[in-house]
Amino acid sequence: MHRSPFSRRLALFVPALCLASAAAAATVPAIRSDKLSTPVLLDGKTDDWTAIPRVYDAKSGAEFAFQNDARNLYILVVMKKPEPVQSIEATGMIVLGRPGGKHKPAKGALFLNREISADGYIVWRESQGAVLTDADKAEIRKLPRHPISLAFAVDAKGSSYGPLRKQTDVFPPDSSTGPQESQPAFEFRIPLASPDLVPGGIGGVPGAPIRISFEWGGTDRSNLSTEAGRESPNSRSGYMSGTGRTWGQEYLDSFDSLSRPRLGDTKKFSFAVDVTLADAK
Amino acid sequence: MPLRIGAVAIDFPVGLGALAGYSDLPYRLICRSLGAPYCITEAMLDRQVLLEGRLRKRLIRLDPADHPVAGQIMGVEPETMADAARSLDRMGFDIIDLNFACPVRKVVSHKRGGALMNDPERALATVRAVVDAVPGRPVTLKLRRAFRDADRTHESFWTIARGAFEAGASAIAVHARSVEQKYTGRADWGFLAEVKRAFPERTVLGSGDVSSPAEALRMMAETGVDGVLAARGAIGNPWFFAQARDLTAGRPPRQPGLDEQREVITRHYRLACEAYDPRRGLKILRHFSLQYAKMHPRRTDLRNALVKVRTEDEWRAVIDAFYSS
């Protein structure tokens, strides 16, 4: 039977692609999440992680470690090279979970650290349930800018929802960054609950495996840009800000033009690992 | 946020609603052990309650751990309903619940359940007869917003609800769909808000589209109803109530691990074998396991394995294989 050059090339290419895919799938490392013995303090320090096994990503030079209880998954990321740190500073870190394997839809959280003005910081703290006296506010205004950590519920398709607030979103995902030393550490807390139950949750089951993927840096993620059509908390979810403005609008307003999250021009990184969650009964 | 139905105090406002084939004693006990504060039995025909026999024994089971519990009855004749209510009262049910909402064709065609939404006079005669038959025992009604989907005046609903409260009913539970709708389309939560506004001093419970604990809390926040009955949303997830409590307390909800899920499923099997017999227990748990599979990370594989199960050994093998961490 005569075969055209194209079909011959295709006949070679398809099996090669399958092999390449299989090889890529096989390279996903696996690790066990340790059962949480004492609560992890989100302070960006590695004290709570001394005996926890780590998995190393050669491309980014980052180490990842996991602990969980029945409510949350805690993740430590230690960056050992400067470039991935610049990327995470520019675009934040997306952590997605695929319970039951790679074919399941992935959902998770985007963590973003920013600095905002003192007045924006006061609004933010109060929205988180803090009761601030005039003296507290005066103290805050002594510094022109303040760091904040934000979390958004996101999925693999790029839609996002947030920023999530402690007051109404029930302990949403949270994060902390350690001192910017030679190996900065990032700690993340993500609810194991289904995203239908807790925005930002990854739907993990203690005792079962879950594929956790990390994405940061790059320029092509529309959900990293505040200019993009971000889905703000809406009446469907019942989470209205009470001010007549959506949280998304308030969020945008809380930044000035200098600190507005921007489309980064940094290198893009991604890493996936199959994590077997500890049965935390 | 406790709930009160007549003299019965309920410590948390999210309870297990009635669902035929599911809210039997074994599953109610499982839900109780995981935080359900209030449960309703499967709907019982008034005549079944009065007839001595195996069906009565199967349906009417009480356990000291299963309180407060409402016995739900449905029927056509007010006098028979009153006799059945008297019988449940003597057995120790805390609340008598009258089903005027069941949309199933064979129920409605016999003028029971949801058919009463089309016959307010008979519905109210039933309420009066039952309230008189069980003095001091709270009587509640399960209603739908209308019989016909096109009925936007909800005239029958308002007639029954007002008349029932005047007759001495302690609470109404409203499913925000019409009888014609059955379980299709969206439940009209706006109607629940309207009902609560009309009866601000009365206990109104809501149901319909409560698919998760978060939805239960959202229904209360958005409509103002005093409590929520979860039925389909809580089948296969008995942790529903503990998770709703977690959310209310501002805690991230606990996710049961595979070992805990297996423990609950096997406990459910033991309870079903005790309540019925091993053969029926296996049949019930095979059915329930498909619902429990909703929480499993490999739900499709698990379901495919469960549908092939024929014997207890096969069922145990599947459970062991899928629920080992």
pLDDT tens for residues B272-287?
999 988 999 999 999 9
More confident residue, A198 or B58: A198
Distance CA B268, CA A2 (A): 64
Hey, what's the torsion of the CAs at B209, B226, A194, B286, to 10 degrees? -60
Placement of tokens 């002594």 in the chain: A142
Least CB–CB distance from A206: residue in B243, B257, B296: B257
More confident residue, B168 or A157: B168
Mutate to test the interface with B, among A205, A210, A276 (most CBs of B within 10 A): A205
Residue B253 within a domain: no
Which secondary structure element, helix H or strand E, spans residue A63, and what is its range?
Answer: strand A62-68
Output the six-digit token pair for A30.
Answer: 């696996």
**Minimal CA–CA distance to B188: which of B149, B244, B240?**
B149
Domain residue limits at B238:
3-248
Which of A133-142, A150-159, B3-12, B112-121 is the least confident region?
A150-159
Res A4: pLDDT: 55
Res B94: pLDDT: 96
Residue B197 within a domain: yes
Res A7: pLDDT: 53
Contacts of A70 in chain B (CB under 8 A): 254-257
Residue A22, SS3?
A: helix
B254/A71 Cβ within 8 A: yes
- State what percent of residues in chain A have pLDDT above 90: 32
CA distance A279 to chain B (A): 6
Planar angle of CA B76, B77, B80, nearest 5 degrees: 115
Residue B121 within a domain: yes
Domain end: B227, B248, B269, which one? B248
Phi, psi (rounded to 5 degrees) for B138: -60, 135
A198/B252 Cβ within 8 A: yes
Identify whether A173 is preceded by a cis peptide bond (ω within 30 of 0). no
Claim to verify: residue B209 and residue B263 sit in the same structural domain: no
Res A26: pLDDT: 53
CA distance B297 to chain A (A): 4
Contacts of B211 in chain A (CB under 8 A): 196
Claim to verify: residue B169 and residue B308 sit in the same structural domain: no
Contacts of A100 in chain B (CB under 8 A): 296-299
How far is CA B162 from each of CA B92, B138, B141, B202, rounded to the nearest angstrom? 28, 16, 12, 11
Distance CA B304, CA B136 (A): 50
Mutate to test the interface with A, among B189, B212, B255, B304 (most CBs of A within 10 A): B255
How far is CA B102 from each of CA A256, A270, B108, B153, rounded to the nearest angstrom? 57, 52, 7, 20
Distance CA A118, CA A145 (A): 5
Across the range B151-159, mean pLDDT stands at 92
Contacts of B252 in chain A (CB under 8 A): 71-72, 170-171, 191-193, 198, 201
Domain end: B196, B227, B248, which one? B248
Q: Tell me the torsion sign for CA atoms B182, B187, B189, B191.
A: negative
Least CB–CB distance from A197: residue in B253, B256, B298: B253
CA distance B248 to chain A (A): 9
Would you call A269 exposed, middle or buried from its count of C-beta atoms within 10 A (0-12, 13-18, 19+)?
buried
Across the range B46-67, mean pLDDT stands at 84
A70/B254 Cβ within 8 A: yes
How far is CA B110 from each of CA B29, B47, B56, B106, rounded to the nearest angstrom? 32, 13, 20, 7
Res A180: pLDDT: 58
Enumerate the domain spans of chain A.
28-268
Res B291: pLDDT: 95
Res A76: pLDDT: 95
CATH of residue B97: 3.20.20.70
Residue B114 has pLDDT above 60, yes or no: yes
Across the range B93-118, mean pLDDT stands at 95
Res B56: pLDDT: 74
Res B11: pLDDT: 94
Claim to verify: residue B172 and residue B281 sit in the same structural domain: no
Claim to verify: residue B272 and residue B227 sit in the same structural domain: no
Least CB–CB distance from A70: residue in B213, B221, B255: B255
Claim to verify: residue B298 and residue B167 sit in the same structural domain: no
Across the range B134-149, mean pLDDT stands at 96
CA distance B293 to chain A (A): 12
Distance CA B133, CA B88 (A): 11
Claim to verify: residue B11 and residue B154 sit in the same structural domain: yes
- State what percent of residues in chain B have pLDDT above 90: 88
Read out DSSP for B82-141?
Answer: HHHHHHHHHHT-SEEEEE-----HHHHTTT-GGGGGG-HHHHHHHHHHHHHHSTTS-EEE
Mean pLDDT per block of 10 residues along chain A (281 residues) reads 51 49 65 89 88 94 95 93 88 88 79 84 80 94 88 80 65 71 86 86 92 83 37 34 45 47 71 92 72
Q: How many alpha carbons fall within 13 Å on the CB side of residue A169? A: 29
Quickly state the pLDDT bin for B166 (edges 50, 70, 90).
very high
Res B210: pLDDT: 95
Average pLDDT of chain B is 94
Least CB–CB distance from A193: residue in B253, B261, B299: B253
Which of A114-128, A189-203, B126-140, B213-227 is the least confident region?
A114-128
A40 to chain B, any CB pair closer than 8 A? The answer is no
Note the pLDDT tens digit of each residue in B234-282.
999 999 999 999 988 888 889 999 999 999 999 999 999 999 889 999 9
Claim to verify: residue B264 and residue B316 sit in the same structural domain: yes
Distance CA B285, CA B323 (A): 15
Hey, what's the torsion of the CAs at B12, B18, B24, B26, to 10 degrees? -30
Q: Which amino acid is located at A233 in the chain? A: P
State how many domains chain B has.
2
Q: How many alpha carbons fall within 13 Å on the CB side of residue A277? A: 35
Claim to verify: residue B223 and residue B96 sit in the same structural domain: yes
Claim to verify: residue B241 and residue B311 sit in the same structural domain: no
More confident residue, A28 or B128: B128
CA distance B215 to chain A (A): 8
B250/A70 Cβ within 8 A: no
Res A169: pLDDT: 52
Q: Which amino acid is located at B112 in the chain? A: R
Contacts of A197 in chain B (CB under 8 A): 212-214, 243, 247, 253
Claim to verify: residue B71 and residue B154 sit in the same structural domain: yes
Claim to verify: residue B59 and residue B180 sit in the same structural domain: yes
Output the six-digit token pair for A191.
Answer: 């609810």
Residues of B taking part in catalysis? 102
Contacts of B255 in chain A (CB under 8 A): 70-71, 192-193, 204-206
